[in-house]
Amino acid sequence: MTSTDLFVSPLGRVEGDLDVRVTITDGVVTDAWTEAAMFRGFEMILKGKDPQAGLIVTPRICGICGGSHLYKACYALDTAWKTHVPENATLVRNIAQACETLQSIPRYFYALFAIDLVNKNYAKSKLYDECVRRFAPYVGTAYQKGVVLSNKPVEVYALFGGQWPHSSFMVPGGVMSAPSLADITRATAILNHWKDNWLEAEWLGCSIDRWLEIKTWEDMLEWVEENESQYNSDCGFFIRYCLDVGLHKYGGGVGNYIAPGTYFEPSLYDHPTSEGRNAALIGRSGVYAGGKHFEYDHLRVSEDVSHSYFKGDRPLHPWEGETIPLDVEEARKAGKYSWAKSPRYDVPDLGRIPLEAGPLARRMAAGNPDRAEHQDYDPLFIDMMAKLGPSVFVRQMARMHEGPKYFKWVMDWLSRIDLHGSFYTKPEEPQSGKGFGATEAARGALQDWIVIEDGKIENYQVVTPTAWNIGPRDSNSTNGPIESALIGSPIVDIEDPVELGHVARSFDSCLVCTVHAYDGKTGRELNKFVVNGMV
């Protein structure tokens, strides 16, 4: 039996830089550490600032999901200031954030994930030549269309918000803009162009309605074989390729999921509160753990820093949360290894456990049959998980499944805007208060907790999807979700460990998206394999 330590630094294309340390035994990953190596201290910067500073600062935590940062930062203020949000404003916020996600789906898939599918490890697949033709970076036929057209949905964001990335046009009480007729017609036309030229023509090979008829794994397999157009679409090809090279066999992770949900039914959330949030959601919230659905409750969230470069001796709810960085060298001696904190959720009967955030978590929440009329209900991934279990493949399909779904939602919201109605109600600006705002960035649960005192920010804590997924071990030495997902991955060539890339990237972690990002092991020789050299 051979055991080697493999240290991969940097593992690019997780948006920001992630160092992964794994132990490989007989060609399989047996232990893993994910290390976030960069820290800017945004929560420290926000302390003492104007309450609305989060609308400007938090989008800059992550330029990939900046619109999502704005969305939840705004709801944190809406709940703290007890604002009134006109229905039009809720629709515009929904549209803008969903367009950011529609942008992310192809951009992430082709530019960040699929290019690894052309790795030489797969050269013996009979589908390899076709894979290279489609997915090779810059020159692949599918890469070119997918990446270039990914800029279209955010053109719609710009119509409402002025620009993407990094607008701050959502404010407590509504939005800054009021669209004209031409803004709405143009938005509709841009999205239809994107759907016609990428989503249906390239990705699906069928109408979005045909795709959304799929309710089970068998339906999906039948869909692939139904006709040549679907068989040869990027989606049909991707499914066949994954099954051929085995991406449905590893990368599963903790199997427990968190989704705070996103997008509100406007009439049900004109006075945003954290208590009224779950019922008003269209994109469902929920925790799925130990095979059961639980209602999402933000009070059950805490952050553990036992393996993070921060001071702290117990898990804290973010309203009481602290961000006190330690000297890295000293912290490493104490066994700490990451700038990411470890968010945990207190699940009834299961205790504080790590949960996976992201599209698969959203799909699990959407599979809960107990819902209101306005809420998403979609059993497809409950079925796929029962038959396939979690994997790199299932996680990818969950993400891609959201394209057709969100497209339909956005078109509906656009049609419901009352151009002659109100988009903003000027709020009172109380001198103190506590707020909670959350959303689903493309890559998962994104949440802010704000405490305002004396008209200034007393405490501001951001828990990103990347922190949920990439966080290190907690005080019980329980691995974070990506660490768990890496374990069990087969590594064909330790000189080119593409499987690690697949697993890490299937979480679409924007590492800079951890407010507290990381360090690799400095000074260590490159690709030095230490036999049984466990740390």
Partner 1 sequence: MSSVLWLQGGACSGNTMSFLNAEEPNVVDLIVDFGLELLWHPSLGLELGANAQKIFWDCARGDRPLDIFVFEGTVIEKDGYDVFAERQMKDWVTDLANAASIVVAIGDCACWGGIPAMEPNPSQSTGLQFHKRDKGGFLGPDWKSKAGLPVINIPGCPSHPDWITQIIVALATGRTADIALDDLHRPQTFFKTFTQTGCTRVQFFDYKQSTVSFGEGTRTGCLFYEFGCRGPMTHSPCNRILWNRQSSKTRAGMPCLGCTEPEFPFFDLNKGTVFKTQKISGVIPKEVPEGADHLTYMAQASAARIAAPQWSKEDMFVV
* Binding positions for partner 1, 129-158, rule CB under 8 A: 137-139, 143-144, 147-148, 150-151, 154-155, 157-158
Closest CB to partner 1 among residues 294, 337: 337
Shortest approach of partner 1 to residue 279 CB, angstroms?
A: 26
Closest CB to partner 1 among residues 269, 345: 269
**Among residues 28, 176, 212, 388, the one that binds partner 1 under rule CB under 8 A:** 176
**Among residues 49, 84, 317, 416, the one that binds partner 1 under rule CB under 8 A:** 49
When computed from its CA atoms, the radius of gyration of the chain, rounded to whole angstroms, is: 22
Question: Which segment (3-11, 267-275, 342-350, 437-445) binds partner 1 by CB under 8 A?
Answer: 3-11
Shortest approach of partner 1 to residue 194 CB, angstroms?
A: 13
CA geometry: angle 453, 93, 211, nearest 5 deg: 140
107 binds partner 1 (CB under 8 A): yes
User: CB of 396 within 8 A of CB of 508?
Assistant: no
Q: Is 47 helix (H, G, I), strand (E, B) or coil?
A: coil
**Among residues 24, 128, 174, 449, the one that binds partner 1 under rule CB under 8 A:** 174
Q: Which of residues 87-106 bind partner 1 (CB under 8 A)?
A: 89
**Contact pattern for partner 1 over residues 208 through 237, marking x by CB under 8 A:** ------------------------------
Shortest approach of partner 1 to residue 242 CB, angstroms?
A: 20
What span, in angstroms and rounded, lies between the C-alpha atoms of 408 and 150?
17
Shortest approach of partner 1 to residue 504 CB, angstroms?
A: 10
What span, in angstroms and rounded, lies between the C-alpha atoms of 243 and 119?
16
Provide DSSP, 69-121: HHHHHHHHHHHHHT----HHHHHHHHHHHHHHHHHHHHIIIIIIIGGGGG-GG
Residue type, 13: R
Question: Which segment (174-182, 237-245, 259-267, 373-381) binds partner 1 by CB under 8 A?
Answer: 174-182
Q: Which of residues 496-515 bind partner 1 (CB under 8 A)?
A: 496-498, 500-501, 510, 512
The tokens of 525 are what?
């020789």
Shortest approach of partner 1 to residue 232 CB, angstroms?
A: 22
| In the block, residue with structure tokens 């059950």 | 300
User: CB of 14 within 8 A of CB of 511?
Assistant: yes
**Among residues 22, 83, 173, 410, the one that binds partner 1 under rule CB under 8 A:** 173
What span, in angstroms and rounded, lies between the C-alpha atoms of 494 and 101?
34
The tokens of 15 are what?
């948006």
Residue type, 176: M
Closest CB to partner 1 among residues 40, 371: 40
Number of residues that bind partner 1 (CB under 8 A): 104
**Among residues 132, 521, 529, 530, the one that binds partner 1 under rule CB under 8 A:** 521
* Cross-strand pairs, 289: 292
Query: What residues have CB less than 8 Å from 362, skipping those under 6 apart?
Result: 259, 261, 283, 284, 398, 402, 440, 444
Strand pairing class (356-357; 257-259): parallel
Q: Which of residues 387-426 bind partner 1 (CB under 8 A)?
A: 419-420, 422-426
Question: Which segment (127-135, 176-184, 352-360, 398-406) binds partner 1 by CB under 8 A?
Answer: 176-184
What span, in angstroms and rounded, lies between the C-alpha atoms of 323 and 312?
9
Q: Which of residues 316-345 bind partner 1 (CB under 8 A)?
A: 325, 327-329, 339
Shortest approach of partner 1 to residue 177 CB, angstroms?
A: 4
Closest CB to partner 1 among residues 41, 351: 41
What span, in angstroms and rounded, lies between the C-alpha atoms of 381 and 216?
8
Query: What residues have CB less than 8 Å from 321, skipping those under 6 apart?
Result: 43, 303, 449, 459, 461
**Contact pattern for partner 1 over residues 446 through 485, marking x by CB under 8 A:** ---------xx-----------------------------
What span, in angstroms and rounded, lies between the C-alpha atoms of 442 and 466?
11
Closest CB to partner 1 among residues 137, 379: 137
Let me know if 319 is exposed, middle or buried by CB neighbors in 10 A (0-12, 13-18, 19+): middle
**Among residues 38, 201, 243, 388, the one that binds partner 1 under rule CB under 8 A:** 38
Q: Which of residues 270-309 bind partner 1 (CB under 8 A)?
A: 309
Shortest approach of partner 1 to residue 288 CB, angstroms?
A: 30
Q: Which of residues 5-34 bind partner 1 (CB under 8 A)?
A: 7-13, 15-17, 19
